[in-house]
Amino acid sequence: MTKDFEPFVYPKANLIAGVDEVGRGPLVGAVVTAAVILDPNNPIVGLTDSKKLSEKKRNVLFDEIKEKALAWSLGRCEPEEIDELNILQATMVAMQRAVADLNIQPDFVLIDGNKIPQLPMAAQAVVKGDLRVAEISAASIIAKVTRDREMEVLDAQFPQYGFAKHKGYPTKAHFEALELHGAIEQHRKSFKPVKRILGIE
């Protein structure tokens, strides 16, 4: 809990899912979302915003969440869908997919941020939810570890881009690699730096 926020008051519901996304900012790869329903009888210690954890700690919690949660699932939108929809709409679709894919349907969904996708159950947006709501923290860890590992796989295929280091985000090294080697199929063609390299501005 951070001192900057009021303690979060959970809605009255039997099964609450937390949802978070990773990968809105990168120039390459999917936007990945996760939905998690935690087991109140099987608590997980150390949940917080995935970005505040070391990679080692994230990986440990990733396995623990998958083992202890009542349900967890992933949703995603690929680069071509992002280019077609725009990144905000693609994120909303990926969140819908994550919730729909849970093998237990929640009766309430808490979503990190300030926007809610259309869902068949009640939902609430929670600003800085990954710091305030355990279910959202768990979802942020599942999504981040999943996407980071995908970037490591892409790095093995295209080592010249440095994806394992910058995870596809628009860093100086990524811009330099784009200038030198051009874009690959997994790059988001609607994002300005990629459009510029492709000459489609």
Residues within the annotated binding site for a divalent metal cation?
20-21, 112
What residue numbers does the annotated binding site cover? 20-21, 112
Q: How many CA atoms lie within 13 A of 136 on its CB side?
A: 24
Q: Give the dihedral sign, CA 97/105/107/38.
A: negative
Among the listed residues 194, 170, 190, 172, the one whose alpha carbon sits nearest the alpha carbon of residue 182? 194
- 72 DSSP β-pair partners: 36
How many other CB atoms sit within 10 Å of the CB of residue 160?
10
